[in-house]
Amino acid sequence: MNLKLIVIFLLMLCLGSFALAETNTVNKDSTAVDSIAPPAPVTMFKAFDTPNDHGHSITLNWQLSADDGAGQNSVLQYQIYRWVPYLMDSLTTLRKAMTTVKEEEIKRGHEKVLKKEMRSLKKEYNAVLKELPSAHKAYPNNGYWKEVGKVPAGTKSYKNTGSKEKESQDYLPDLTDFYYRVDAVTKDSTVRASSKVFGPVQCSGQWFNTGRIPVLVAVILFTFLTIYFVEKAKNGAKLYVRPLSGIEAVDDAIGRATEMGRPILYILGLGSVADIATIASFTILSRVAKQVAEYQTELLVPTYDPLVMAVAQEVVKSAYLDAGRPDDYKEDTVHFVTQSQFAYVAAVNGIMLRELPATNIYMGVFFAESLILAETGALAGSIQIAGTDQIAQIPFFIVACDYTLIGEELYAASAYLGREPLLLGSLKAQDYAKALVIILAIIGLIMSNFGWTQFTDLFKVAN
Protein backbone atom coordinates (compact mmCIF):
# COMPACT_ATOMS: atom_id res chain seq x y z
CA MET A 1 0.00 0.00 0.00
CA ASN A 2 2.75 2.40 1.06
CA LEU A 3 4.92 1.40 -1.87
CA LYS A 4 1.99 2.07 -4.19
CA LEU A 5 1.61 5.61 -2.87
CA ILE A 6 5.29 6.35 -3.40
CA VAL A 7 5.17 4.95 -6.93
CA ILE A 8 2.12 7.08 -7.72
CA PHE A 9 3.86 10.15 -6.33
CA LEU A 10 6.99 9.53 -8.39
CA LEU A 11 4.88 9.01 -11.50
CA MET A 12 3.15 12.32 -10.83
CA LEU A 13 6.56 13.98 -10.59
CA CYS A 14 7.63 12.62 -13.96
CA LEU A 15 4.40 13.63 -15.64
CA GLY A 16 4.40 17.02 -14.00
CA SER A 17 7.86 17.97 -15.09
CA PHE A 18 7.25 16.92 -18.67
CA ALA A 19 3.96 18.74 -18.72
CA LEU A 20 5.85 21.99 -18.38
CA ALA A 21 6.05 23.17 -21.92
CA GLU A 22 7.58 26.53 -22.59
CA THR A 23 5.54 28.87 -24.67
CA ASN A 24 7.09 31.33 -27.00
CA THR A 25 5.57 34.70 -27.51
CA VAL A 26 5.54 35.97 -31.03
CA ASN A 27 6.55 39.55 -31.48
CA LYS A 28 4.53 41.45 -33.97
CA ASP A 29 6.50 43.82 -36.08
CA SER A 30 4.68 46.63 -37.73
CA THR A 31 5.97 47.13 -41.23
CA ALA A 32 7.27 50.52 -42.11
CA VAL A 33 5.70 52.41 -44.96
CA ASP A 34 7.87 54.74 -46.99
CA SER A 35 5.40 57.20 -48.51
CA ILE A 36 2.71 57.89 -45.98
CA ALA A 37 -0.83 58.72 -46.92
CA PRO A 38 -3.15 60.07 -44.19
CA PRO A 39 -4.68 57.13 -42.30
CA ALA A 40 -8.36 56.58 -41.71
CA PRO A 41 -9.62 58.09 -38.45
CA VAL A 42 -10.93 55.96 -35.59
CA THR A 43 -14.66 55.28 -35.60
CA MET A 44 -17.39 54.83 -32.99
CA PHE A 45 -15.48 57.15 -30.67
CA LYS A 46 -17.15 57.45 -27.28
CA ALA A 47 -16.27 59.06 -23.96
CA PHE A 48 -18.01 58.41 -20.67
CA ASP A 49 -17.55 58.79 -16.94
CA THR A 50 -15.38 55.93 -15.62
CA PRO A 51 -17.74 53.69 -13.68
CA ASN A 52 -17.27 52.61 -10.04
CA ASP A 53 -14.70 55.24 -9.15
CA HIS A 54 -14.35 58.37 -7.07
CA GLY A 55 -14.69 60.65 -10.09
CA HIS A 56 -11.97 62.68 -11.81
CA SER A 57 -11.69 60.15 -14.59
CA ILE A 58 -13.10 59.74 -18.11
CA THR A 59 -12.88 56.53 -20.12
CA LEU A 60 -12.58 56.67 -23.90
CA ASN A 61 -13.44 53.84 -26.30
CA TRP A 62 -13.08 53.63 -30.07
CA GLN A 63 -12.87 51.21 -32.98
CA LEU A 64 -9.41 50.96 -34.54
CA SER A 65 -8.57 52.99 -37.60
CA ALA A 66 -8.94 51.02 -40.84
CA ASP A 67 -5.18 51.48 -41.31
CA ASP A 68 -4.22 49.98 -37.96
CA GLY A 69 -2.98 46.44 -38.51
CA ALA A 70 -4.81 46.34 -41.84
CA GLY A 71 -5.21 48.58 -44.90
CA GLN A 72 -2.03 50.68 -45.23
CA ASN A 73 -0.97 49.52 -41.75
CA SER A 74 0.45 52.99 -41.19
CA VAL A 75 -0.92 53.89 -37.75
CA LEU A 76 1.84 53.92 -35.13
CA GLN A 77 -0.06 55.27 -32.18
CA TYR A 78 -3.17 57.11 -31.02
CA GLN A 79 -2.91 60.47 -29.34
CA ILE A 80 -5.71 61.57 -27.07
CA TYR A 81 -6.65 65.25 -26.91
CA ARG A 82 -8.86 67.13 -24.51
CA TRP A 83 -10.08 70.65 -25.10
CA VAL A 84 -8.87 72.95 -22.33
CA PRO A 85 -9.74 76.61 -21.80
CA TYR A 86 -6.92 79.16 -21.52
CA LEU A 87 -7.90 79.46 -17.88
CA MET A 88 -6.04 76.17 -17.29
CA ASP A 89 -2.79 77.92 -18.24
CA SER A 90 -3.27 80.59 -15.63
CA LEU A 91 -3.75 77.78 -13.11
CA THR A 92 -0.42 76.31 -14.20
CA THR A 93 1.28 79.68 -13.76
CA LEU A 94 -0.17 80.07 -10.28
CA ARG A 95 0.86 76.54 -9.39
CA LYS A 96 4.42 77.23 -10.50
CA ALA A 97 4.48 80.34 -8.35
CA MET A 98 3.28 78.27 -5.40
CA THR A 99 6.01 75.68 -5.96
CA THR A 100 8.63 78.43 -6.03
CA VAL A 101 7.36 79.75 -2.71
CA LYS A 102 7.46 76.21 -1.28
CA GLU A 103 11.05 75.80 -2.42
CA GLU A 104 11.95 79.15 -0.88
CA GLU A 105 10.38 77.98 2.38
CA ILE A 106 12.60 74.92 2.37
CA LYS A 107 15.65 77.10 1.75
CA ARG A 108 14.90 80.04 4.01
CA GLY A 109 12.60 78.52 6.60
CA HIS A 110 9.01 79.50 7.35
CA GLU A 111 9.14 83.29 6.99
CA LYS A 112 6.09 85.46 7.43
CA VAL A 113 6.44 87.13 4.04
CA LEU A 114 6.42 83.77 2.29
CA LYS A 115 3.40 82.60 4.22
CA LYS A 116 1.48 85.71 3.26
CA GLU A 117 2.45 85.31 -0.38
CA MET A 118 1.36 81.68 -0.29
CA ARG A 119 -1.99 82.60 1.19
CA SER A 120 -2.74 85.18 -1.48
CA LEU A 121 -1.65 82.77 -4.25
CA LYS A 122 -3.96 80.09 -2.87
CA LYS A 123 -6.84 82.53 -2.75
CA GLU A 124 -6.31 83.53 -6.36
CA TYR A 125 -5.96 79.86 -7.37
CA ASN A 126 -9.27 78.93 -5.75
CA ALA A 127 -10.99 81.87 -7.44
CA VAL A 128 -9.78 80.66 -10.85
CA LEU A 129 -10.88 77.10 -10.02
CA LYS A 130 -14.43 78.32 -9.50
CA GLU A 131 -14.45 79.71 -13.04
CA LEU A 132 -13.43 76.39 -14.60
CA PRO A 133 -16.88 74.85 -15.31
CA SER A 134 -18.15 77.97 -17.07
CA ALA A 135 -14.89 78.28 -19.04
CA HIS A 136 -15.34 74.70 -20.26
CA LYS A 137 -18.93 75.49 -21.27
CA ALA A 138 -17.58 78.15 -23.66
CA TYR A 139 -16.23 75.44 -26.00
CA PRO A 140 -14.87 75.98 -28.64
CA ASN A 141 -13.99 79.57 -27.68
CA ASN A 142 -11.04 80.67 -25.57
CA GLY A 143 -9.28 77.35 -25.49
CA TYR A 144 -7.13 74.86 -27.34
CA TRP A 145 -6.64 71.11 -27.78
CA LYS A 146 -4.14 69.58 -25.37
CA GLU A 147 -2.59 66.13 -25.62
CA VAL A 148 -3.46 64.16 -22.48
CA GLY A 149 -2.04 60.79 -23.41
CA LYS A 150 -1.00 58.35 -26.09
CA VAL A 151 -1.36 54.63 -26.62
CA PRO A 152 0.32 52.30 -29.11
CA ALA A 153 -1.50 51.08 -32.25
CA GLY A 154 -3.92 48.25 -31.59
CA THR A 155 -5.30 49.83 -28.41
CA LYS A 156 -9.01 50.59 -28.30
CA SER A 157 -9.41 52.44 -25.06
CA TYR A 158 -7.84 55.01 -22.79
CA LYS A 159 -8.56 56.16 -19.29
CA ASN A 160 -7.96 59.85 -18.71
CA THR A 161 -7.50 59.81 -14.96
CA GLY A 162 -6.68 63.03 -13.20
CA SER A 163 -5.90 63.90 -9.64
CA LYS A 164 -8.59 64.83 -7.13
CA GLU A 165 -6.16 67.20 -5.43
CA LYS A 166 -7.04 70.71 -6.50
CA GLU A 167 -3.44 71.87 -6.40
CA SER A 168 -2.09 69.05 -8.49
CA GLN A 169 -1.02 69.77 -12.06
CA ASP A 170 -3.16 66.81 -13.16
CA TYR A 171 -6.35 68.00 -11.46
CA LEU A 172 -9.44 66.92 -13.39
CA PRO A 173 -12.55 68.63 -12.02
CA ASP A 174 -15.82 66.76 -11.58
CA LEU A 175 -19.12 67.95 -13.12
CA THR A 176 -17.37 69.92 -15.84
CA ASP A 177 -18.04 69.63 -19.60
CA PHE A 178 -15.12 68.00 -21.36
CA TYR A 179 -14.56 67.50 -25.09
CA TYR A 180 -12.29 64.80 -26.45
CA ARG A 181 -10.82 63.67 -29.74
CA VAL A 182 -8.44 60.89 -30.76
CA ASP A 183 -5.81 61.23 -33.49
CA ALA A 184 -4.51 58.24 -35.43
CA VAL A 185 -0.82 59.14 -35.89
CA THR A 186 1.63 57.68 -38.40
CA LYS A 187 5.42 57.47 -38.35
CA ASP A 188 5.48 61.04 -39.60
CA SER A 189 3.71 62.83 -36.76
CA THR A 190 2.36 65.49 -39.10
CA VAL A 191 0.44 62.86 -41.05
CA ARG A 192 -2.54 62.07 -38.89
CA ALA A 193 -6.32 61.79 -38.83
CA SER A 194 -8.54 63.22 -36.12
CA SER A 195 -11.73 61.59 -34.95
CA LYS A 196 -15.01 63.41 -34.48
CA VAL A 197 -15.10 65.45 -31.29
CA PHE A 198 -17.05 63.80 -28.51
CA GLY A 199 -18.66 65.91 -25.84
CA PRO A 200 -19.78 67.27 -23.55
CA VAL A 201 -18.98 64.55 -21.06
CA GLN A 202 -18.73 64.92 -17.31
CA CYS A 203 -17.11 62.82 -14.63
CA SER A 204 -18.40 62.23 -11.12
CA GLY A 205 -17.97 59.83 -8.22
CA GLN A 206 -20.31 56.89 -7.68
CA TRP A 207 -22.02 55.87 -4.47
CA PHE A 208 -21.81 52.16 -5.05
CA ASN A 209 -19.16 50.01 -6.68
CA THR A 210 -21.19 47.51 -8.66
CA GLY A 211 -18.05 45.51 -9.43
CA ARG A 212 -17.92 44.45 -5.80
CA ILE A 213 -21.38 42.89 -5.56
CA PRO A 214 -19.94 39.34 -5.17
CA VAL A 215 -18.04 40.50 -2.07
CA LEU A 216 -21.18 42.13 -0.68
CA VAL A 217 -23.16 38.92 -1.17
CA ALA A 218 -20.41 36.91 0.52
CA VAL A 219 -20.25 39.34 3.45
CA ILE A 220 -24.01 39.25 3.96
CA LEU A 221 -24.12 35.47 3.69
CA PHE A 222 -21.27 35.01 6.13
CA THR A 223 -22.65 37.52 8.60
CA PHE A 224 -26.00 35.74 8.44
CA LEU A 225 -24.34 32.35 9.06
CA THR A 226 -22.40 33.72 12.02
CA ILE A 227 -25.40 35.36 13.65
CA TYR A 228 -27.52 32.24 13.02
CA PHE A 229 -25.06 29.89 14.71
CA VAL A 230 -24.35 32.28 17.55
CA GLU A 231 -28.10 32.45 18.27
CA LYS A 232 -28.33 28.68 18.01
CA ALA A 233 -25.48 28.27 20.46
CA LYS A 234 -27.07 30.78 22.82
CA ASN A 235 -30.25 28.69 22.85
CA GLY A 236 -28.28 25.75 24.16
CA ALA A 237 -27.55 23.71 21.05
CA LYS A 238 -24.48 21.53 21.55
CA LEU A 239 -21.78 22.28 19.00
CA TYR A 240 -18.90 19.88 18.59
CA VAL A 241 -15.45 21.27 17.93
CA ARG A 242 -12.37 19.17 17.30
CA PRO A 243 -9.87 19.41 20.18
CA LEU A 244 -6.62 21.27 19.49
CA SER A 245 -3.63 19.89 21.35
CA GLY A 246 -1.75 23.19 21.08
CA ILE A 247 -4.47 25.00 23.02
CA GLU A 248 -4.80 22.30 25.62
CA ALA A 249 -1.07 22.46 26.16
CA VAL A 250 -1.27 26.12 27.22
CA ASP A 251 -2.77 25.26 30.60
CA ASP A 252 -0.19 22.55 31.28
CA ALA A 253 2.61 24.86 30.27
CA ILE A 254 1.54 27.52 32.77
CA GLY A 255 1.35 24.87 35.49
CA ARG A 256 4.84 23.70 34.59
CA ALA A 257 6.23 27.22 34.84
CA THR A 258 4.67 27.63 38.28
CA GLU A 259 6.18 24.37 39.49
CA MET A 260 9.61 25.28 38.20
CA GLY A 261 9.41 28.84 39.50
CA ARG A 262 10.47 30.20 36.11
CA PRO A 263 8.80 32.86 33.99
CA ILE A 264 6.59 32.51 30.91
CA LEU A 265 7.69 34.35 27.80
CA TYR A 266 4.90 35.51 25.52
CA ILE A 267 5.84 36.81 22.05
CA LEU A 268 3.18 38.69 20.07
CA GLY A 269 5.20 38.60 16.86
CA LEU A 270 6.01 41.37 14.43
CA GLY A 271 2.43 42.16 13.45
CA SER A 272 0.69 45.48 13.98
CA VAL A 273 -2.56 45.90 15.92
CA ALA A 274 -4.42 45.76 12.63
CA ASP A 275 -3.28 42.19 11.93
CA ILE A 276 -5.94 39.64 12.74
CA ALA A 277 -3.26 37.23 13.99
CA THR A 278 -2.18 39.84 16.55
CA ILE A 279 -5.78 40.45 17.62
CA ALA A 280 -6.24 36.68 18.09
CA SER A 281 -2.99 36.63 20.03
CA PHE A 282 -4.32 39.30 22.44
CA THR A 283 -7.17 36.95 23.35
CA ILE A 284 -4.76 34.14 24.15
CA LEU A 285 -2.51 36.54 26.06
CA SER A 286 -5.49 37.63 28.13
CA ARG A 287 -6.21 34.05 29.07
CA VAL A 288 -2.55 33.28 29.82
CA ALA A 289 -2.16 36.45 31.90
CA LYS A 290 -5.23 35.61 33.96
CA GLN A 291 -3.86 32.19 34.83
CA VAL A 292 -0.40 33.58 35.46
CA ALA A 293 -1.94 36.07 37.89
CA GLU A 294 -3.79 33.28 39.68
CA TYR A 295 -0.69 31.09 39.99
CA GLN A 296 1.53 34.10 40.75
CA THR A 297 4.05 33.19 38.08
CA GLU A 298 6.14 35.79 36.25
CA LEU A 299 5.12 36.85 32.75
CA LEU A 300 7.43 38.55 30.21
CA VAL A 301 6.03 40.20 27.10
CA PRO A 302 8.66 42.04 25.02
CA THR A 303 6.97 43.74 22.07
CA TYR A 304 7.99 44.91 18.62
CA ASP A 305 5.32 47.51 17.89
CA PRO A 306 4.54 50.36 20.29
CA LEU A 307 0.80 50.22 19.54
CA VAL A 308 0.81 46.48 20.21
CA MET A 309 2.61 47.25 23.47
CA ALA A 310 -0.07 49.72 24.55
CA VAL A 311 -2.88 47.25 23.81
CA ALA A 312 -1.04 44.32 25.40
CA GLN A 313 -0.49 46.34 28.57
CA GLU A 314 -4.21 46.97 28.78
CA VAL A 315 -4.96 43.29 28.14
CA VAL A 316 -2.58 42.06 30.86
CA LYS A 317 -3.75 44.71 33.32
CA SER A 318 -7.41 43.72 32.84
CA ALA A 319 -6.50 40.06 33.18
CA TYR A 320 -4.80 40.70 36.54
CA LEU A 321 -7.85 42.69 37.61
CA ASP A 322 -10.17 39.86 36.60
CA ALA A 323 -8.03 37.40 38.50
CA GLY A 324 -8.47 39.57 41.57
CA ARG A 325 -4.78 40.48 41.84
CA PRO A 326 -4.46 44.01 40.46
CA ASP A 327 -1.59 44.77 42.86
CA ASP A 328 0.61 42.07 41.35
CA TYR A 329 0.53 43.74 37.94
CA LYS A 330 3.81 45.38 36.97
CA GLU A 331 3.90 47.99 34.23
CA ASP A 332 7.11 46.52 32.79
CA THR A 333 5.63 43.07 32.26
CA VAL A 334 4.81 44.26 28.76
CA HIS A 335 7.59 46.39 27.37
CA PHE A 336 8.77 47.77 24.06
CA VAL A 337 12.10 46.66 22.60
CA THR A 338 12.65 47.93 19.07
CA GLN A 339 11.05 48.06 15.65
CA SER A 340 14.03 46.49 13.98
CA GLN A 341 13.35 42.82 13.23
CA PHE A 342 16.66 41.27 14.13
CA ALA A 343 17.49 43.65 16.93
CA TYR A 344 14.21 42.43 18.43
CA VAL A 345 15.29 38.83 17.90
CA ALA A 346 18.60 39.54 19.61
CA ALA A 347 16.80 41.07 22.59
CA VAL A 348 14.31 38.19 22.90
CA ASN A 349 17.04 35.57 22.54
CA GLY A 350 18.95 37.37 25.26
CA ILE A 351 15.91 37.17 27.55
CA MET A 352 15.54 33.45 26.76
CA LEU A 353 19.12 32.62 27.64
CA ARG A 354 19.25 34.83 30.75
CA GLU A 355 15.87 34.16 32.30
CA LEU A 356 15.51 30.55 31.03
CA PRO A 357 11.70 30.72 30.82
CA ALA A 358 9.84 27.47 31.46
CA THR A 359 7.46 28.15 28.60
CA ASN A 360 7.69 30.22 25.42
CA ILE A 361 4.48 31.09 23.63
CA TYR A 362 4.72 32.54 20.11
CA MET A 363 1.39 33.73 18.75
CA GLY A 364 0.96 36.23 15.95
CA VAL A 365 2.73 37.29 12.78
CA PHE A 366 6.26 35.96 12.33
CA PHE A 367 8.84 36.17 9.59
CA ALA A 368 12.42 35.00 9.20
CA GLU A 369 12.98 35.28 12.94
CA SER A 370 10.64 32.37 13.73
CA LEU A 371 13.27 29.64 13.55
CA ILE A 372 15.97 31.66 15.32
CA LEU A 373 13.58 32.32 18.21
CA ALA A 374 12.24 28.78 18.38
CA GLU A 375 15.65 27.08 18.11
CA THR A 376 17.09 29.31 20.83
CA GLY A 377 14.06 28.54 22.99
CA ALA A 378 14.59 24.83 22.43
CA LEU A 379 18.25 25.27 23.36
CA ALA A 380 17.19 26.95 26.59
CA GLY A 381 15.05 23.91 27.36
CA SER A 382 11.68 25.67 27.32
CA ILE A 383 8.36 24.07 26.38
CA GLN A 384 7.27 25.93 23.25
CA ILE A 385 3.83 26.60 21.80
CA ALA A 386 3.51 28.52 18.56
CA GLY A 387 0.76 29.76 16.28
CA THR A 388 0.97 31.88 13.15
CA ASP A 389 -0.87 32.58 9.94
CA GLN A 390 2.35 33.11 8.00
CA ILE A 391 2.47 30.01 5.85
CA ALA A 392 6.20 30.17 5.21
CA GLN A 393 6.96 30.11 8.93
CA ILE A 394 4.63 27.26 9.93
CA PRO A 395 7.14 24.50 8.99
CA PHE A 396 9.83 26.15 11.12
CA PHE A 397 7.58 26.26 14.15
CA ILE A 398 6.46 22.66 13.62
CA VAL A 399 10.08 21.54 13.60
CA ALA A 400 11.29 23.52 16.59
CA CYS A 401 8.23 23.80 18.88
CA ASP A 402 6.32 21.26 20.91
CA TYR A 403 2.88 22.39 19.74
CA THR A 404 1.92 24.50 16.73
CA LEU A 405 -1.37 26.10 15.76
CA ILE A 406 -1.59 26.14 11.98
CA GLY A 407 -3.07 29.15 10.25
CA GLU A 408 -6.71 29.62 11.13
CA GLU A 409 -6.36 27.46 14.26
CA LEU A 410 -4.79 30.53 15.79
CA TYR A 411 -7.93 32.56 15.14
CA ALA A 412 -10.07 29.76 16.51
CA ALA A 413 -8.00 29.58 19.70
CA SER A 414 -10.06 32.18 21.52
CA ALA A 415 -13.20 30.12 21.01
CA TYR A 416 -11.47 27.01 22.34
CA LEU A 417 -10.06 28.80 25.34
CA GLY A 418 -13.26 30.46 26.40
CA ARG A 419 -15.64 27.68 25.36
CA GLU A 420 -18.25 30.41 25.21
CA PRO A 421 -21.26 29.52 23.05
CA LEU A 422 -20.97 32.84 21.25
CA LEU A 423 -17.47 32.11 20.02
CA LEU A 424 -18.17 28.45 19.25
CA GLY A 425 -21.08 29.57 17.11
CA SER A 426 -18.85 31.72 14.95
CA LEU A 427 -16.50 28.76 14.53
CA LYS A 428 -19.36 26.67 13.16
CA ALA A 429 -20.27 29.43 10.73
CA GLN A 430 -16.70 29.33 9.49
CA ASP A 431 -16.95 25.59 8.90
CA TYR A 432 -20.11 25.98 6.84
CA ALA A 433 -18.56 28.79 4.84
CA LYS A 434 -15.60 26.54 4.14
CA ALA A 435 -17.90 23.77 2.95
CA LEU A 436 -19.59 26.27 0.66
CA VAL A 437 -16.23 27.41 -0.76
CA ILE A 438 -15.25 23.79 -1.42
CA ILE A 439 -18.53 23.06 -3.22
CA LEU A 440 -18.26 26.23 -5.32
CA ALA A 441 -14.61 25.48 -6.14
CA ILE A 442 -15.53 21.99 -7.36
CA ILE A 443 -18.41 23.34 -9.47
CA GLY A 444 -16.10 26.03 -10.86
CA LEU A 445 -13.47 23.43 -11.69
CA ILE A 446 -15.94 21.28 -13.61
CA MET A 447 -17.46 24.27 -15.41
CA SER A 448 -14.06 25.66 -16.40
CA ASN A 449 -12.99 22.31 -17.78
CA PHE A 450 -16.03 22.36 -20.05
CA GLY A 451 -15.24 25.91 -21.07
CA TRP A 452 -18.25 27.45 -19.32
CA THR A 453 -16.68 30.54 -17.85
CA GLN A 454 -19.99 32.21 -17.01
CA PHE A 455 -19.98 30.56 -13.62
CA THR A 456 -16.49 31.70 -12.61
CA ASP A 457 -17.26 35.16 -14.03
CA LEU A 458 -19.93 35.49 -11.36
CA PHE A 459 -17.16 35.70 -8.75
CA LYS A 460 -15.05 38.32 -10.48
CA VAL A 461 -14.41 41.38 -8.33
CA ALA A 462 -13.53 44.78 -9.78
CA ASN A 463 -10.67 46.78 -8.37
Partner 1 sequence: MNIFDKMMRLDRRWIFLFLIIVCVVTYIIPFKVPIHVVPEVRSIYDFIDTLEPGKIVLIAIDYDPNNLAELQPMTFAIVEHCWRRKIKIIFTALSQNGPGMAEQAIRDISDSMKVDKTYNGKFYKGREIKNGIDYTFLGYKPYYGLVILGMGQDFRLPFPTDYYGTPLDSIPMMKGVLNYDQTAGVIDISGGSITDAWINYGQGRFNFPLALGLTGVMTAQYYPYLGSGQIFGIMGGLLGAAEYEKLADNPGRAMGGMRIQLYAHMVIILFIVMGNVGFFMNKRKKKLREKGI
Partner 2 sequence: MKRQIPFALVFIFGFFTIFQYFVPHESSEWVYEFLLDWILIIGIFALALGIWSLWRVSIDKINNRRPNWGYSYVTLAGLFLMIIFGFTAKNGDSWGYYFPFVIAVLLVIIMLIQTIKAKGQSKILYIGLALLFLIISILIGYFDKSWSIHFSTSEGLKNTMFQDFFDYILIPILSTMFSLLAFFIASAAYRAFRARNVLATILLVAALIVMLRFNFYLPGAEYFARTSTWLMNVPNLAANRAIVIGIGLGVVATALKVILGIERGYMGKG
Q: Which does 463 bind (CB under 5 to 8 A by kind): partner 2, partner 1, none?
A: partner 1
Q: How far is the CB of 344 from partner 1 (least distance, A)?
A: 11
Provide the 10 A C-beta neighbour count for residue 418. 14
Task: State the Cα–Cα distance between residues 202 and 196, nearest whole angstrom.
Answer: 18
Q: Which does 244 bind (CB under 5 to 8 A by kind): partner 1, partner 2, none?
A: none
DSSP assignment, residue 171?
B
H or E segment and range at residue 56: none
Stretch binding partner 2 (CB under 8 A), from 3-11, 39-47, 71-79, 195-203 = 3-11
User: Does residue 287 bind partner 2 (CB under 8 A)?
Assistant: yes
User: Does residue 162 bind partner 1 (CB under 8 A)?
Assistant: yes
Stretch binding partner 2 (CB under 8 A), from 6-14, 140-148, 182-190, 256-264 = 6-14
CB 117 within 8 A of CB 188: no
Residues within window 420-459 making contact with partner 2, judged by CB under 8 A: 422-423, 426-427, 429-430, 433-434, 437
Q: In the set 198, 282, 362, 366, which binds partner 2 (CB under 8 A)? A: 282
Task: State the Cα–Cα distance between residues 286 and 206, nearest whole angstrom.
Answer: 43
User: Which neighbouring-strand residues pair with 80?
Assistant: 149, 182
Q: Is the peptide bond before 263 cis (omega within 30 degrees of 0)?
A: no
- CA distances 402 to 362, 365, 370, 391, Å, are 11, 18, 14, 18
User: Does residue 48 bind partner 1 (CB under 8 A)?
Assistant: no
User: Does residue 106 bind partner 1 (CB under 8 A)?
Assistant: yes
Q: Which does 331 bind (CB under 5 to 8 A by kind): partner 1, partner 2, none?
A: partner 2
Residues within window 303-362 making contact with partner 1, judged by CB under 8 A: 339-342
Q: How far is the CB of 117 from partner 1 (least distance, A)?
A: 16
Stretch binding partner 2 (CB under 8 A), from 30-38, 153-161, 256-264, 365-373 = 365-373
CA-wise closest residue to 267 among 113, 407, 166, 376: 376
Q: In the set 33, 66, 239, 346, which binds partner 2 (CB under 8 A)? A: 346
Stretch binding partner 2 (CB under 8 A), from 24-32, 137-145, 202-210, 251-259 = 202-210
CA-wise closest residue to 147 among 169, 173, 180, 178: 180
Beta strand residue intervals within 13-138, DSSP E: 43-49, 57-63, 75-85
User: Does residue 118 bind partner 2 (CB under 8 A)?
Assistant: no
What is the torsion angle, in degrees rounded to the nearest 10, for the CA atoms of residue 257, residue 258, residue 259 and residue 263?
40
Q: In the set 43, 99, 210, 448, which binds partner 1 (CB under 8 A)? A: 99
